[in-house]
Amino acid sequence: MHIGIFDSGFGGLTVFRSIRARLPQYDYIYLGDNARTPYGNRSFDAIFRFSRECVDMLFERRCKLVIIACNTASAKALRTLQQKVLPLEHPDRRVLGIIRPSAEALASLSDTRTVALWATEGTVKSMSYPMELEKAAPQLTVIQQACPMLVPLVENGELNGSALDYFIEKYWRETLQTAASQSTSAQALPRIPPTGVSQSACGIDALLLACTHYPLIQTSIRRILPPEIKVLTQGEIVAPSLENYLLRHPEIEQALSRTGSQRFLTTDQTEGFDHLAETFLGHAVLSEKVGI
C-alpha cells in the first residue's frame, strides 16, 4: 500500500519533496485538486466535501495513510474526517494533517517567544493554529497574518520580482502592526515606519510559513525580513514527524510497499500541472488527470 499526499493544488509538493527526500523507500501518490484550487477562502462545507472526495480517491488507489499537505484543509476538514468518516468507512486507514506537527515544532523552539504565522484566510479564520499552540506552547504569543495574494502569485509562476516583493512587504508591515497593537508594552516598542519594511521585528523571533505554497517564495521572504527572524517551512517539520509516526505505528508502516515509486494525479489539465510541478520538485513530472 502507498502513502497518499493531498493538497488543494501544487503547494503540497513542497511537503512531498521533503517527505520523499527523507523517506525515499516508500511508494507515493500525490493528488492535487488543481481544478478547485484555491481552497483558502472557501466555506467549511466546500473544503470538507472536496477533502473527503480527494482522500477517498487516494484510499481507492490503495493508500494506507494520507497526509493532508494543505493547511486550509487540515484546519477545516481533518478533525471531521478523523472522528466521523474514518471510524465508519475506513477503520484501517489513517489521515494526518500538518497543523499539529507544525505547532509542536514551534513549541520546541526554546528561544522563541513571539511567532508570526502567514497563512490563507481560511487557515487564519479557523483559529486552528492558536488553538493547537495554546495546548502545545501556551507561553508563545502568536501573530496571525492572512496573505491572500501570495497563492495566486505562486500559482501564476511569479516566484520573484517587484509584484511579489510588494505583497511580502505589505504583509510583513501588517504583521508588525498587529504585533505592536497586541503588545502590552507597546510604548517600549520601536516605531513602525508607515511605508517600507521596518528594521524592527517588534519582538517577533520566528515566522512560520503556514501555507504550503509559501516555501516557493522563501528566498524573497528571507531577503525582505530582518535577518534575525527564523523562517520555518513545513516540509522540514512534517517529514521527520511522519518518520516518527511510522516508527510509533508499525502496523501502518508494515503495510507500506517499498519500491520508491511516485505517481502524480491532478483534477485539472496535466500539462499545466507538469510544468509547475517541475518548478516545485526540480525534476520532470508526468501527471495523470483524474475526475472527481
Nearer to ligand DGL, 57 or 208 (CB): 208
Among 72, 102, 175, 233, binds ligand DGL (CB under 6 A): 72
Smallest distance, ligand DGL to C-beta of residue 211, A: 4
CB of 128 to ligand DGL, least distance (A): 11
Quick one: which segment of 68-76, 130-138, 198-206, 247-255 binds ligand DGL (CB under 6 A)?
A: 68-76
For residues 17 and 66, give the distance between their C-alpha atoms in angstroms, rounded to a whole number.
Answer: 15
Active site residue 70: yes
Cα–Cα distance for residue pair 247/7, rounded to 1 Å: 24
Nearest to ligand DGL of 38, 203 (CB atom): 38
On whether the CB atoms of residues 242 and 21 are closer than 8 A, the answer is no
Closest residue to ligand DGL in the complex (CB): 40
Which parts of 181-257 are beta strand (E)?
206-209, 230-232
Contact pick of 37, 128, 198, 287 for ligand DGL (by CB under 6 A): 37
Percent of the chain as helix, strand, coil, to the nearest 5: 50, 15, 35
Which residue, 172 or 214, has its beta carbon nearer to ligand DGL? 214
Count of other CB atoms within 10 angstroms of residue 159: 14
Q: How many residues bind ligand DGL (CB under 6 A)?
A: 17
Strand blocks (E) in the chain: 2-7, 28-32, 63-68, 94-96, 114-119, 141-146, 206-209, 230-232, 262-266, 288-289
- Contact, 58 vs 29, CB < 8 A? yes
Under rule CB under 6 A, residue 266 binds ligand DGL: no
Report 77-136 residues binding ligand DGL (CB under 6 A).
Answer: 120, 123
One symbol per residue from 213 to 232: x for binding ligand DGL (CB under 6 A), - otherwise; what is it?
A: x-------------------
d(CA 143, CA 70): 20
Q: By the criterion CB under 6 A, which residues form the site for ligand DGL?
A: 7-9, 11, 37-40, 70-72, 120, 123, 151, 211-213
Q: Which residues are catalytic?
A: 70, 211
